[in-house]
Structure 1
C-alpha cells in the first residue's frame, strides 16, 4: 500500500480530529449546563448520543483511545492523561527500535508495515515462516517499523489501535509479540483494509486469546484498555513517516538498503543469500 501524500493526509486528518474534538467539547459544555438546570433526562439523552458517536468513530469499542488527545499530548505537550512509556524490549531514546532476534546477528532485515495493509498480510502469510527461520538460524535479526497511514486513507483507528496492542504484546515478551503479529496478519483475523475491525479493543483482545502468552493475560488486556502505549504507537508511526526510501507497505530493507519484496520463499532465500554479510 502506498503512503504517497500521507503527510498531507495526516495533516488533513489532524484538522478533522481537532474539529471533532471541539464539537465534542461544545456538547460537553451543553451537557453541563443542562445538568445545572436539572434536566436529567435530557442530559442522559445527550450523553448517550455522544457515546454512540464516539463508539462509531472508533470501531465500536466503549473505551477506544482518543487519538486526537494523544496527538496533542505528543506534539503540543498538552497533558492528555496518557502514559508516555515505551514497551519493554524496545531500544533507542524513544523506544521506537523494535528488534527481534539475536542483537549480534551479522545482518538486519527491516520490515515496514501498516497493520491494516492487505499486502503486508499476504507477505506474512506467504513468507512469515521463511522469514522467521532466518531469525532462528541467526542469519539476521528483524527491525519492525509500523506506519498507520491507512487510518488517514480509509478513516477509523484500526492501524493505531493494532499498533498499541502490538506494543502491549511486546511488553509481555518478544515471543508474544511475534505470535500476536502473526495472528493479526493471519487469513483468519486480518480484515479488509477498508474495515476498521482493529479499531475495536475487544476484537484485538479476542485475537490475543490465540496466543498462549497473551491468553487471559490481565496485564496485556489492561494495557490495551488503558491505552498504555498509545503515545509510543504515534512515535513509531512518525518514525515510519520519516523513513528514507519507504513509499508504501510492505517495504523491506536488508542491511539498510531497500530490496525488492520477494514473492516466494525461494526468492526470499535467494535475496538473503545474495545480500548477507559473512558471519
Structure 2
C-alpha cells in the first residue's frame, strides 16, 4: 500500500470519527434540551396545579359562598334586597314589626302560646306585620339551622303568604321545635318533614326542590345581614315605628300549668296591643277572619314604617 493511500485512509477514518462525534454531540444537546423543556413544563404544571388548588381552597363554601351567589327573591317580598316581608290587609293603616329567629326558644314559646292572637289580628286587618328574620343563634350556638330554616321559609313565602305563616308556626310548634343547642333544622330532611304538616307545602315539588337546592340561600343571607336593624338584637321583639313594644312579665311559678302560662301570655300580648293600637273593634273588623292567612304585599307598596 502506498503512503498516499495509507494517509487517505487515515484521513477518511478521522473524518468519520469526527462526524460521529458531532452527531453524538447534537443528539446529546437535543436530549438535554428536551429534558430541560420537560422539566420546565413539569414545574409549570405543578405550579399551575398548586395555584389552582390554592385558589379552590380559598374559594368560599357553604353559606359564605351563598353571599356571593345571585339572589333569587321569593314572591311577596319588596324593598332593598327583597328583605321586606309585609303580610296583612294592604288597607290596614298600621304596621307592627316582629323580629324572630327560627332557633329561638323564646320565639317558639311566644308562637305556641300567643301566635294565634297575632294571626287573628292580621286576618282581621287590625294591622299589617313586617317580619324580620334573624339567624344570630347560629353564631351563638354554632350550626346553620336558623339560616337553613330561613331559606326554607323563603321557599314557603314564594308559594304564598299563608304558606309562610303556617310553616313558620309549624317550625316553632312543640311538635317539631328543637332545643336551641340542637342544630336539627340544618337538615333539609327535617325541614321537609315539618312542611308535610302544611297543606300548601305537602307534596309541593317546587317547594321541596327549592329547599334541597338552597334556591333562597342568598336571600336568607341578605335577611341575616339585617341583624341589629332598628337596634334590635334579641328576639322576639315587637315594634311600632321606632317604638319598642313591651309585654308584662309572666310570674315564675313552678306550679303554673302550660295552659295557664299560655292564657297569661296571650292576655299580656293583647294588653300590649290594645295599649298601642286601641281596643279591637270586633271579631271581623277590617278583614275576613275566616281566611287562612293575610294577604301579601302589593307590587310597589312601600313599607309604612319607612325603614329598611
State TM-score, norm by structure 2: 0.64
Find 2:77's aligned residue among 90, 93, 106.
Answer: 90
Q: Which structure 1 segments of 5+ residues have no match?
A: 1-25, 33-64, 74-81
Which residue, 123, 133, 153 being the options, matches 1:136?
123
Partner residue, 2:62: 66
Match of 2:182 in 1: 195
CA contact (8 A) 1:251 1:261 kept: no
Once the 2 structures are TM-superposed, how far is the Cα of residue 277 of structure 1 from its aligned partner? 6.7
CA distance in 2, matches of 1:221, 1:261: 37
Encode CA deviations 1:209-243: one digit per residue, 9 max, x unaligned: 0000000101001111111111110111111x141
CA distance 1:29–1:247, shift in 2 (3 Å):
closer
Kindly name which structure, 1 or 2, has the bigger radius of gyration based on alpha carbons: 2
1:261 shift after superposition: 3.6
Structure 2 counterpart of 1:226: 213
Runs of 4+ in 1 over 6 A off after TM superposition: none
Aligned to 1:268: 269
Corresponding position of 1:114: 101
Q: 2:230 aligns with which of 222, 227, 244?
A: 244
Report the secondary structure of 2:225's partner residue: helix
Q: How many residues align?
A: 210
Residue 151 of structure 1 corresponds to 138
Structure-2 separation of matches of 1:105 and 1:265: 22
Task: Tell me the TM-score normalized by structure 1.
Answer: 0.71
Separation in structure 2 between the aligned mates of residue 254 and residue 124 of structure 1, nearest angstrom: 19
Q: Determine whether 1:160 maps to 2:147.
A: yes
**Correspondence for 2:170:** 183
- Per-residue CA deviation, residues 100-126 of structure 1 (Å, 9 max, x unaligned), is 111221211211011100000000011
Listed one character per residue, the Cα deviations across residues 80-114 of structure 1 (whole Å, up to 9, x for unaligned) are xx441210001113111001111221211211011
Partner of 2:157: 170
Q: Provide the aligned C-alpha RMSD in A.
A: 2.1
SS in 1 for 2:91: coil
